[in-house]
Amino acid sequence: MSKDREFYLRRLHSLLGIVPIGLFLIVHFLVNYSATNGSEAFNTASGFMEKIPFLPIVEWVIIYIPLMFHAFYGVYIAFTAKPNLNRFGTTRNWFFMLQRISGIFLVIFIAWHIFQTRLQKTLHGTEIDYDLMADVVSNPGMLAFYIVGILAATFHLSNGIWSFLISWGLIQSPKSQKVTTYITMIIFVLLSVVGVLAILAFR
């Protein structure tokens, strides 16, 4: 792969990770968080999302196609990229490794989540409601799997924001990179709390 092509593909990969995938993740968490107010609140929020005009087209254009590119190219990056110890130091290189590990795990987790929700609706007409998710996480092992998936997603997005800002040249100085690390880790904690509380609400 030529360096110019790889440069633009990495830019596209980082951009799609924020818009639309990152934004969709936040919306998805907020819809799920409505479950903390009971089954009726979640079913209302979920039902509203199901009524979006041209939903299948919207899902493919805004979610599935960007997600597949981000996932497949991300796996390629994970197995070809190497840590830059001289430039970023130990902490950032741990984040570098966690970004790749979380990304690979998320490919599996998201595929399984889609199988348990959207694919069941498509194949069997199963309603994506509170009862469906309550049944999914009634198994302690599946609940643990979802919690790990949530934490992987929130870390991957939060650290991905840092990577996006670096890739697009928006933060360059060591000080700005350090400050941004703290900010993105705060985002990680906040999103994780929302995500975990949301999945626990189905118990």
Name the pTM for this structure. Answer: 0.93
- Is-contact 103 155, C-beta < 8 A? no
> Where residue 147 sits, what CATH number does that domain have?
1.20.1300.10
Residue located via tokens 């995500």: 195
Q: Computed over its alpha carbons, how large is the radius of gyration of the chain?
A: 18
Tokens of 49: 């999302």
Tell which residue, 194, 190, 188, 103, has the closest CA to residue 154. 188
- Is-contact 199 134, C-beta < 8 A? no
- Domains held by the chain: number: 1
- Round to whole Å and give the CA distance between 124 and 121: 5
Give pLDDT tens digits along the chain (203 positions): 677 898 899 999 999 999 999 999 999 999 999 999 999 999 999 999 999 999 999 999 999 999 999 999 999 998 887 766 555 567 888 899 999 999 999 999 999 999 999 999 989 999 999 999 999 999 999 999 999 999 999 999 999 999 999 989 999 898 999 999 999 999 999 999 999 999 999 99
pLDDT for the residue numbered 83 = 60
> Quick one: 191 exposed, middle or buried, by C-beta within 10 A (0-12, 13-18, 19+)?
buried
- Round to whole Å and give the CA distance between 192 and 16: 21
Residue located via tokens 């979920």: 46
- Round to whole Å and give the CA distance between 17 and 177: 19
Q: Which residues form the domain of 157?
A: 3-200
- Round to whole Å and give the CA distance between 13 and 103: 12
pLDDT for the residue numbered 88 = 59
- Round to whole Å and give the CA distance between 181 and 87: 15
pLDDT for the residue numbered 49 = 92
